[in-house]
């Protein structure tokens, strides 16, 4: 055991990037607390009430604890005898320990008091209060007794059962994660991109220095006349839409007669630092549409954008409908499916905290030095948004219990990070999240204002998910009001990823539909009808009449390489 702590084991620490391993930059949290603290200091009566309130809660907790001890409600007198028959202590020895139970109750009591006190402070800017509450909850989650070895009954039991082997394994995993700068949430050895993941048959038919364009091979005797282009977010790899055969939206669409094209964004490095909004539209979306027109000879196409991919489509449509538009693709966009997409960023949720000016200031030096925001930082940010599920769960299981994570496709994809160019990161943070320019029509592309209300006769299918922590469904619903075209809004079950990747055969999550679009999201869901199964089937029924006649499948004869291509692996290659 002592050999595990030799100096060579720790030699790498002095060279590692601690900035990346940190889940949250403390500078942002401290600034939030200081500003809220100033407000509270000017309200002395609130401070007095808060102290008295805490005292009352703790006295009530102490009273309850003593009653439980006296009445033996908590199995207070635990039998500490070792069971020779089972060669271990009893399974519930620590689960029923009154001291450990009291620690949990104390944490819950003080946590509720902290949040209540914060909420009671008056005259605080709502965005500042949102930020302060978020970081307060992060602190509360971190300080849970379960995250401390000698207050966690599972750790105590496992240590006795394994004679401390879990501690040795946990420390080994901790050092590995410290070296790579992130908590391991998945057994990556079980997956290879192009085999277990992103394995739907297809070819890369076009490449420039920003994208590869994939065309998937047909699997049906006939296909719909009009193809469909999938635009994934550029902050993640595209294969979330093409996981394994059972979870692949791409494979499902191809098997239902769609000719599917997919954009695969490059994982940018320093030479891409100036690639921003206009390049992603013109070199990404427009270039793809023109290539599709060339190979299919069609005059119209359907599009599906996931997350900010949907924002990109919406912005490009607004550009094309403006009378001053100077660039038009060779093919018309006939419909757009916006999958968990934000257009009005007023209620953007917790993600807005990481797009604020103080966050940009905190990462500014790193951004300028590299020319891009490291994908590992985004991974840590996304993890912080669901800290209990994505951080502390693995902290306990891996580092304390010594249990390696199991294999999971979505978690593998989640950890397969993408960088964001310096220019694009500032566009997202300032133009969209901070200033909400797309909503106001003040965002410009090629010096043309993007006004979503100008879009006409392009039907939209908007799908949000009820537990989405990145794109709150109510905020996504707000985007409907910006359009002047027909919109079908559907609300799926689960969250940002699991709710979107919900194949019909799994029959896992339901969805809600209300044919009447209301002014308020809560009013909409109040009268919505719940349907069992996947929203994919509802989408198919909506888009099928718009797809045109059935024709012979388009076999791919002219291509650069097999799908999934090289950009998905992070290699830039040579532009063709």
> Looking at residue 77, what is its pLDDT?
47
Is residue 38 assigned to a domain? yes
pLDDT in tens, 361-403: 778 888 899 999 999 888 888 888 888 999 999 999 999 999 9
Question: Per-residue pLDDT for 49 more than 60?
Answer: yes
When mean pLDDT is compared across 181-185, 191-195, 247-251, 283-287, the lowest value belongs to 181-185
Cα–Cα distance between 94 and 174 in angstroms, integer?
Answer: 25
Give Cα separations from 100 to 35, 92, 141, 152 (angstroms).
36, 12, 17, 7
Contact 225, 509 (CB under 8 A): no
Alpha carbon distance 270, 118 (integer Å): 42
494 domain-assigned? no
Whether residue 141 is contained in a domain is answered as yes
**What pLDDT was estimated at residue 79?**
47
**Residue 30 maps to a domain:** yes
pLDDT value for 362: 76
CA nearest to 528, candidates 497, 503, 492:
492
Quote the pTM value: 0.88
pLDDT band at 30 (very low <50, low <70, confident <90, very high): confident
Q: CA 257, CA 363: separation in Å to the nearest integer? A: 46
CA 404 from centroid of its chain's CA atoms: 23
Bigger pLDDT: 307 vs 383: 307
Diameter over CA atoms, the chain: 85
pLDDT tens profile 88-110: 444 456 667 788 888 989 999 99
Would you name the residues annotated as active-site residues?
A: 307
Least confident range of 372-386, 431-445, 550-564: 372-386
Residue 365, number of CB atoms within 10 A of its CB = 10
Q: Residues near 172 by Cβ (< 8 Å), separated by ≥ 6? A: 4
pLDDT digits (tens, 9 = 90+) for 508-528: 999 999 999 999 999 999 999
Confidence of residue 279 (pLDDT cuts 50, 70, 90): very high
Does any domain span residue 497?
no
**Predicted local confidence at residue 26, as pLDDT:** 67
Cα–Cα distances in Å, from 115 out to 59, 110, 129? Answer: 19, 9, 11
Tell me the pLDDT of the chain averaged across its residues. Answer: 89
- In SS3 terms, 313-344 reads as HHHHHHHHCCCCCCCCCCCEEEEEEEECCCCC
Compute the distance between CA of residue 375 and CA of residue 12 in angstroms, rounded to an integer.
Answer: 21
Contact 68, 98 (CB under 8 A): yes
Q: Is the pLDDT of residue 2 over 70?
A: no
Q: How many domains does the chain have?
A: 1
In a domain, 417, yes or no: no
Residue with tokens 């702590």: 5
Sheet arrangement for strand 561-562? 529-531, 511-513, 487-492, 460-465, 332-339, 300-306, 228-231, 260-265, 211-216, 202-207, 561-562
pLDDT score of 73: 57
Contact (Cβ atoms closer than 8 angstroms) between residue 157 and residue 91? yes
pLDDT reading at 1 higher than 80: no
Query: What are the pLDDT digits (tens) for 131-180?
Result: 899 999 999 999 999 999 999 989 998 998 899 999 999 999 999 988 88
Separation of alpha carbons 500 and 534, rounded Å:
9
Higher pLDDT, 11 or 275: 275
40's CB contacts (< 8 A; 6+ apart) are 46, 47, 121
Distance of CA 288 to the CA centre of its chain: 25
Task: Report the 10 Å Cβ neighbour count for 397.
Answer: 18
CA gap 161, 166 in Å, rounded: 9
**Domain boundaries, position 25:** 13-162
Residue 495 has pLDDT above 60, yes or no: yes
Weakest mean pLDDT among 36-40, 174-178, 330-334, 443-447 = 36-40
Is residue 284 in a domain?
no
- The string of pLDDT tens digits covering residues 199-212 is 999 999 999 999 99
Residues facing residue 88 across a β-bridge: 83
Query: Does some domain include residue 87?
Result: yes
Res. 18: pLDDT tops 60: no
Tell me the CB-side half-sphere exposure of residue 12, using CA atoms within 13 A.
Answer: 10
């Amino acid at each position: 055991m002592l050999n595990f702590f030799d100096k060579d084991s720790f030699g790498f620490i002095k060279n590692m990037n601690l900035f990346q391993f940190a889940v949250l930059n403390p500078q942002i949290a401290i600034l939030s607390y200081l500003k809220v603290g100033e407000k509270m200091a000017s309200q002395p009566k609130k401070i007095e009430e808060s102290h008295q309130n805490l005292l009352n809660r703790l006295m009530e907790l102490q009273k309850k604890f003593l009653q439980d001890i006296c009445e033996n409600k908590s199995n207070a007198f635990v039998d500490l005898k070792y069971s020779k028959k089972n060669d271990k202590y009893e399974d519930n020895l620590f689960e029923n320990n009154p001291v450990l139970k009291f620690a949990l109750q104390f944490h819950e009591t003080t946590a509720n008091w902290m949040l209540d006190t914060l909420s009671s402070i008056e005259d605080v800017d709502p965005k500042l209060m949102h930020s302060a509450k978020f970081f307060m909850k992060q602190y509360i989650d971190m300080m849970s007794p379960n995250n401390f070895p000698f207050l966690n009954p599972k750790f105590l039991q496992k240590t006795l059962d394994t004679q401390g082997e879990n501690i040795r394994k946990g420390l080994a995993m901790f050092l590995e994660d410290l070296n790579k700068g992130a908590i391991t949430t998945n057994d990556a050895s079980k997956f290879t991109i192009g085999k277990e993941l992103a394995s739907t048959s297809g070819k890369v038919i076009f490449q420039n220095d920003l994208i590869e364009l994939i065309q998937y091979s047909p699997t049906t005797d006939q296909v719909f006349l009009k193809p469909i282009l999938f635009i994934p977010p550029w902050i993640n790899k595209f294969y979330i839409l093409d996981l394994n055969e059972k979870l692949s939206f791409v494979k499902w669409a191809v098997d239902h007669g769609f000719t599917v094209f997919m954009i695969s964004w490059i994982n940018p490095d320093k030479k891409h630092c100036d690639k921003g909004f206009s390049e992603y539209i013109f070199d990404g979306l427009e270039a793809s549409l023109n290539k599709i027109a060339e190979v299919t000879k069609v005059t119209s196409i359907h599009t599906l954008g996931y997350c900010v991919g949907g924002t990109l489509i919406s912005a490009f449509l607004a550009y094309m409908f403006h009378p001053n538009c100077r660039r038009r693709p060779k093919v018309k966009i006939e419909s757009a499916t916006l999958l968990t997409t934000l257009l009005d960023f007023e209620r953007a949720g917790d993600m807005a905290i990481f797009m604020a000016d103080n966050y940009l200031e905190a990462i500014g030096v790193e951004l300028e030095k590299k020319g891009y925001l490291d994908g590992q930082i985004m991974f840590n940010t996304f993890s912080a948004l669901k800290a209990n599920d994505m951080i502390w769960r693995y902290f306990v299981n891996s580092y304390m219990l010594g249990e390696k994570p199991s294999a999971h496709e979505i978690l593998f994809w989640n950890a397969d990070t993408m960088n964001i160019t310096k220019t694009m990161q500032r566009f997202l943070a300032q133009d969209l999240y901070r200033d909400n320019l797309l909503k106001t029509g003040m965002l410009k592309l090629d010096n043309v204002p993007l006004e979503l209300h100008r879009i006409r006769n392009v039907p939209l299918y908007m799908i949000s998910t009820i537990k989405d922590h990145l794109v709150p469904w109510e905020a996504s619903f707000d985007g409907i009001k910006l359009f002047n075209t027909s919109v079908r809004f559907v609300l799926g079950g689960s969250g940002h990823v699991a709710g979107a990747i919900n194949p019909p055969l799994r029959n896992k999550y339901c969805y809600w539909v209300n044919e009447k679009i209301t002014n308020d999201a809560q009013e909409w869901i109040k009268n919505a009808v719940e349907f069992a199964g996947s929203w994919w089937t509802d989408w198919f029924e909506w888009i099928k009449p718009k797809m045109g006649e059935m024709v012979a499948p388009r076999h791919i004869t002219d291509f650069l390489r097999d799908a999934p291509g090289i950009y998905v692996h992070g290699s830039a290659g040579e532009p063709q």
